[in-house]
Amino acid sequence: MTTAAPARTSFLLGLFGAGIGGSLTPAMQEREGFASGLNLTYRLVDAERLGYGAENLAEMLDWAQRFGFDGLNITHPFKQVVIPLLDELSDDAHDLGAVNTVVFRDGRAIGRNTDWSGWGRAFRRRLPEAVSDPAVLVGAGGAGSAVGYALLEQGSAHVSIVDVDVEKAQACATRLAKRFGDDRVRATTDLAGALASAQGLVNATPTGMTGHPGLPVPAELVREDLWVSDVVYFPLETELIHLARSRGCRVVPGGGMAVFQAVGAFEYFTGVEPDAERMVRHFEELTS
């Protein structure tokens, strides 16, 4: 994989997705660029405001390259549909079937995925002792696939995947099993049964996000001996995280994934290793 950035200090980056006006990624990337001695500009390209859909994605990528962008972060709903438009994929993006980071190098568009590594790094920062715990993953979309990959990559003994769309859950489990083995991952409709034999719970659905209130699982299933993680970070204290804290659970809020996916993307874009703890502090300032 040849994604090393040229030795220079000026970068033009962007985020492409729908309904992304509240994203903190531009502020995090530009602040870290400044602190690292780079002239880094990061722009939002909101497909919702532009009236763009998947059919406009090829045009958007071409436009970005022609206007000198060095890379793009890709978010909902384009992480999967962007893949056929790229020249090269990293192994993890191929395994996941999803891309959140596109690096432009020498006229080529190279797809990578820092969602899984971002969640995993945030998890290990908080709960290093729990990396091998069996876990239940609720949500089998792009975020769920990334979290499942991270759980298994860092050593989870078993991951059970639950989704209201049973076929989506099975497809996610099948994809992950190709990489990690059938004995370590499965799709199930028995949430209570899966949680009874698990030590961790991850919410990878929009439930709990601003505008999508509620709990992704029945409250009575959140036991005090579980660790609980959420990928939602608007708000940081989701109803699930609040409930888990009140019951004495160890928690990993969604902000960590948001920060550490940006850490990984920054390095791919610029070739410069960012100060991860500085980016964490900046994120905390932005969300306080």
Q: What is the pLDDT along the chain (288 residues), one digit of tens a residue?
A: 445 544 679 999 999 999 899 899 999 999 999 999 999 999 999 999 999 999 999 999 999 999 999 999 999 889 989 999 999 999 999 999 999 999 999 999 999 999 999 999 999 999 999 999 999 999 998 899 999 999 999 999 999 999 999 999 999 999 999 999 999 999 999 999 999 999 999 999 999 998 899 999 999 999 999 999 999 998 999 999 999 999 999 999 999 999 999 999 999 999 999 999 999 999 999 998
Q: Residue 168 catalytic?
A: no
What is the C-alpha separation between 175 and 62, in angstroms, rounded? 30
Q: Give how far the C-alpha of residue 264 lies from the chain's centroid of Cα atoms, to the nearest Å.
A: 11
Q: Find the Cα–Cα–Cα–Cα dihedral 279, 47, 141, 119, rounded to 10°.
A: 0
What is the C-alpha separation between 214 and 254, in angstroms, rounded? 16
> Active-site residue among 31, 61, 74, 79?
79
Q: Is the Cα torsion angle 42, 43, 46, 51 positive or negative in sign?
A: negative
Q: Which amino acid is at 103?
A: V
Please tell me the pTM assigned to this model. Answer: 0.93
191 contacts 219 by C-beta, under 8 angstroms: no
End-to-end CA distance of the chain: 38
Two structure tokens written together for 67: 């206007």
Strands in the chain per DSSP E? 10-17, 39-46, 71-74, 88-89, 101-105, 108-112, 135-138, 159-162, 185-187, 200-203, 227-230, 250-252
